[in-house]
Amino acid sequence: MNDQSSEKQSWWQRLSGGLKRTSASIGGAVTDLVAKRRLDQAMLDDIEEVLIRADLGVVSAARIAAAVGEGRYDKSITADEVKAVVAAEVEKVLTPVAKPLLIDAGKPFVALVVGVNGSGKTTTIGKLAAKLRAEGRSVLLAAGDTFRAAAIDQLNIWGGRSGASVIARAPGADAAGLAFDALTQARGEDVDVLLVDTAGRLQNKAVLMDELQKIVRVLKKVDPTVPHAVLLVLDATVGQNALSQVEVFRDIAGVTELGHDQARRHGARRHLGCHCGEIRPAGPFHRRGRRHRRPRAVLGEGFRPRDRGD
């Protein structure tokens, strides 16, 4: 019943619907603050505190609170006015970096997909593969997460769903060697796009990050210009730690794009990064937009190929 209902909803309706509780919580706090009060410094301090709790960060919260107070001091203000200012400030940061993943480099176009454990890398690859196949491109998926047998099976399933080819090895195989073979095969078969999955790794684990760096080095031995894109998949719920992920993965793998995925079914974890008018989820990505200026290429919701925004 729920599945049939969700099929009738647009992608945007499903995404925003999954965020209503958080939005209502923050919006309710703002409404309580401004009810029957004139705007003064105490109210601005309270609004700033709400925004900090919403994970926008201290600097961003202070700037937005100042924007709320501009020209409104000692006047009545509504909750909708506060929300409009917050949305406008977030949009200023995110709009310039909300760009699609452009397949405009050499052939094959090589995209390396990286991130920490459970951020939604393999699911994001599957959605990208479905999109690219729908555009008429040939796609090869490389099952580079050789540490987890289920990841190899998962990528094979996504390959079957999307009509993409898959190259895989036995669990425990050398991931860099697999990436080398995948690129060699893609070049030999004149494949349009090669998407390379990688094992999830915490950015503070030097040994695992060295393995990722090895994959990049090996790919460059085949073609010095690859990877053409390095897509970092992020989870909005990790807060400030996401900033560390961007910095470390950028230094190790040369991150060029950010991708975000929200899995919402059956109580599953949420993967999110968007500029969708919701206050809390925008927080970490608002800060990343200001600090790192990496393009936001993909926004996903759910587990199906069409659960994606570009």
Write the secondary structure of 37-52 as one string of H (helix), E (strand) and C (coil).
CECCHHHHHHHHHHHH
Find, among 289, 283, 236, 240, the residue nearest to 263 by Cα: 236
Amino acid at 203: Q
Q: What is the pLDDT of residue 263?
A: 43
pTM: 0.73
Could you tell me where in the chain the CATH 1.20.120.140 domains are found?
10-97
Could you tell me where in the chain the CATH 3.40.50.300 domains are found?
109-309
Q: What is the pLDDT of residue 16?
A: 64
* CATH number for the segment(s) 10-97: 1.20.120.140
List the structure tokens of 49: 């505190």
In whole angstroms, give the CA distance from residue 22 to residue 33.
Answer: 17
58 pLDDT higher than 80 = yes
Find, among 250, 307, 294, the residue nearest to 97 by Cα: 294
The 10s digit of each residue's pLDDT in 96-141 is 877 777 887 778 999 999 988 888 888 889 999 999 999 999 999 9
Backbone angles phi, psi at 125, to 5 degrees: -60, -45
Domain with residues 109-309, CATH architecture: 3-Layer(aba) Sandwich (3.40)
The 10s digit of each residue's pLDDT in 202-224 is 766 777 788 889 999 999 999 99
In whole angstroms, give the CA distance from residue 132 to residue 165.
Answer: 12
DSSP-derived 3-state class of residue 230: strand
Instruction: Give me the sheet containing 139-142, strands edge to edge.
Output: 165-167, 139-142, 193-196, 109-114, 229-234, 257-262, 296-301, 308-309
**Residue found under tokens 């107070």:** 69
Report the first-to-last Cα separation within the chain, whole angstroms: 28
Q: List 166's β-bridge partners, or say none.
A: 141
Q: What is the mean pLDDT of residues 27-42?
A: 82
Q: What is the pLDDT of residue 123?
A: 87
* CA–CA distances in Å: residue 2 to residues 92, 117, 266, 267: 36, 29, 11, 13
Highest-confidence range of 27-31, 74-78, 143-147, 214-218, by mean pLDDT?
214-218
The 10s digit of each residue's pLDDT in 251-287 is 888 888 777 654 433 333 333 333 222 223 334 444 4
Written as one string, the DSSP assignment of 87-111 is HHHHHHHHGGGB------SSSSEEE
231 pLDDT higher than 70 = yes
In whole angstroms, give the CA distance from residue 38 to residue 47.
Answer: 13
Peptide bond into 227 cis (omega under 30): yes
